[in-house]
Structure 1
Amino acid sequence: MKPEIRLTDPRALRGYAHPLRMALVGLLRREGPMTATQASEHLDESVPNCSYHLRQLARYGLAERAEGADARERPWRATAQNTTWDDLSDDPAVRAAANELNAGILDHYVARARTHLAQRAFEPVDWRAVLGFGDALVHVTAAELAELTRRIEALLAEYDERLTDPSTRPAGSRAIGVIQLVVPVEPFSAAEPGEPGPADEPGPAREPGPAAAEGTGR
């Protein structure tokens, strides 16, 4: 599996912006190769529906066939551990498609948070103490925020080996999604003369969730 796949085509961006396709990619990255039938059992979806969307993911390079013991239905596997894309393109079609994908991913995050809240009462006390939501307010420049993000990613990278090698996971460990939302408190206002605006701060849009748990990025 490649470390990363980068989407640049508007069709691929829109093609990935589908709740079931995101869930399927995350499932394959988290659990490894599986058939459409197995995926349907994990996601409580119909086999034909999973089969169709897996084929669509293959069109965009996000999934591919893997070798399997059953010649009648070969399993599918994810092609990369993370997905990235660029939403700073000068092409309006690419920007619109990237925004559509960003909105779909945000909806995915909210749905996962609501699922956790619904099940939170059944979590062991030690897990309830460390799971949940929080936020912090910081006053930083764009360069400082980029450095802060890099440091956070470096901390998370210390656990990367456990993504692909189950033998490195300690007893009692679980797949946990660390969802990163870096958003301004107030809308952007026009910069002072000589100050850089948003377009002067290039960088890839990286899908941070479902993070390590489902492998769609950080």
Structure 2
Amino acid sequence: MSRLSYKTLASGFEATGIYEDRRSRFIAQLTHIVSEDEANDYIAGVRARYHDARHNVPAWVLSDGRERCSDDGEPSRTAGMPILEVLHGAGLADVCCVVTRYFGGTLLGPGGLVRAYTAATQIALMDAEKNNSLVEMRLVTRVVLSVPYTRYERICHMVSDSGGKIVRSDFGAEVLLAMDFKSGEEAAFVDALRELGSGDLVPTVEAPRFDTF
């Protein structure tokens, strides 16, 4: 995956945005998801909540690159794709947005529909920002290392100097450290370990993963 970071919503928070045009009412709902099944469950829940609405238009993006959208009966590319483009433009992933439309009796035309679905999604995004519910996820690499007590403080300084952070310290016969780095920055720390030790400081570098940092 090429991306090094993305934004998502805090788990358990639902952002909302309401936009009206010529008596048509567009209600955007935006939430955190981590799988296609979660997206489908959320979409089904919104459709049940607004069962009397003419359209419930979904779009979702996962951090692994999978994404999907539907126009749910609106003219092609006037509803789902505009929602998806807002999510892309904001750098969001692991999110699902459903925009519910109550028809107001006046046709808005393709341009009007694109503007309305875009605006409702943008308002929901603003609601998430206002509630401090946007979370940045970064590609993080964990390094695990066992160090003797005589080198513990020195290693702690090296972690800090390399831009990392110690997330766990287990004190036994030696100190077992778990340290997180922004992916790519762990290399400088590993190189510094080689210079410090004589082959006795052997780190385990785990596979990169997305996490807060």
Same fold (TM over 0.5): no
Larger Rg: 2
Higher helix share: 1
> Which one has more relative contact order, counting CA pairs under 8 Å at least 6 apart?
1
